[in-house]
Amino acid sequence: MQQGFDPGAFVERVPDERLLVEELVELPEAVGRPKAIAPSRTRGRLVGVGATLTGLTLIAGCVLIVVGMVDAVASGLGLLAVGAIAVGFVLVGTHWGWVHVAEATADAIDSRRASEVLARRRQWLVTLRPYPRYEVTTSVGEDGNISIVRTRFRPVPSGDRSFTFVREPDRVEVHSGDEPAAAVAERAELLRRAAAADTERERARFEVAADAYETALLHSEGEQQEIAARRAAADALSERINANLRDPPLTE
């Protein structure tokens, strides 16, 4: 079991949001994984429509400019030619707008669609508690030896108020491929149970520290409320005394 871990240093910290994405590899399998956000098919279709409209707008704009110029040369710079050229330049100058409109629409649809998934991911994140966890896995080497690896997932500070985990090897046992399979499996199960017991022990230590922190916090809040009440009563009394001093009673 890891020595020197201070659960009291983590009771105020919250899980780092990076644990939802790039730091998932630093978590043991036992904590599960957040629900993945499935790629949207709607986005691809909308962006495709936006790209098509962009191309059509650009072509239409170029055609109108050419038609307007030809008409201006053939019949003079009339209202029709000027209008065609002007509209053509407007279409050419704004043809990329369709792509932006398509992306904005797709973002809005994806946001609404993924809101429930995002809420579930955040609910999963807040269930992570900052105490060490231990996990046992096995791997087979090229020489046929079997390694039983005990891994420690240690909480570490991240930023001012959050925490994350680091994955580090805790113990490695290498067993020859000639050893009986039942003996290796029994040893792996023994180490797995020991890892589970150590994890539970660390969890209990953290819960004790968290409960003590909550109790101290509630006590502090109660004292602050009492001080605030006494201060309010003293302010009211002081104001009444000052009022009497400003307007003393009449004497004979």
145 and 109 in a common domain: no
Same domain, 155 and 83: no
d(CA 148, CA 55): 60
Residues 174 and 108 occupy one common structural domain: no
Residue range 136-150: average pLDDT?
89
Classify residue 88: in a domain, yes or no.
yes
- The band of 119, judged by pLDDT with boundaries at 50, 70 and 90, is confident
The C-alpha atoms of residue 155 and residue 5 are separated, in whole angstroms, by: 9
Say if 53 falls within a structural domain.
yes
Please give the pLDDT value at position 243: 66
**Tokens linked to 158:** 């991240």
Q: What is the pLDDT of residues 88-115, one digit of tens each?
A: 777 677 666 656 666 777 666 666 666 7
Q: Are residues 64 and 84 in the same domain?
A: yes
Residue 1, pLDDT score: 44
Q: Pick from 112, 128, 130: which is nearest to 20 by CA?
A: 128
Residue 130, C-beta contacts closer than 8 angstroms, at least 6 positions apart: 7, 10, 13, 15, 155, 163, 206
> 88 burial class (0-12, 13-18, 19+ CB within 10 angstroms)?
buried
Counting residues of the chain whose pLDDT is more than 90, the rounded percentage is 21
Residue 4 CB neighbour total at 10 angstroms: 4
pLDDT for position 78: 66
In a domain, 34, yes or no: no
- How confident is the model over 180-222, as pLDDT tens digits? 889 989 999 999 999 999 999 999 989 988 888 888 777 766 6
Tell me which amino acid residue 204 is: A
The pTM assigned to this predicted structure is 0.58
Q: Answer yes or no: are the C-beta atoms of 153 and 132 closer than 8 Å.
A: yes
Does 148 lie in the same domain as 199? yes
Residues 224-252, mean pLDDT to the nearest whole number: 60
Higher pLDDT pick, 122 / 94: 122
Strand order in the sheet with 133-140: 14-15, 162-175, 146-158, 133-140
pLDDT reported for residue 252: 46
Tell me the angle at which helices 97-126 and 41-75 cross, rounded to the nearest 10 degrees: 160
Cα(first)–Cα(last) distance of the chain, in Å? Answer: 86
Average confidence (pLDDT) over 129-158:
91
Domain boundary among 80, 100, 124: 124
**Contact at 8 Å (CB) between 156 and 16?**
no
C-alpha to C-alpha distance for 88 and 62, rounded to whole angstroms? 6
Mean pLDDT of the chain: 77
pLDDT tens per residue across span 24-72: 777 888 888 877 766 566 656 666 666 776 777 778 778 767 776 776 7
Residue range of the domain that includes 140:
131-252
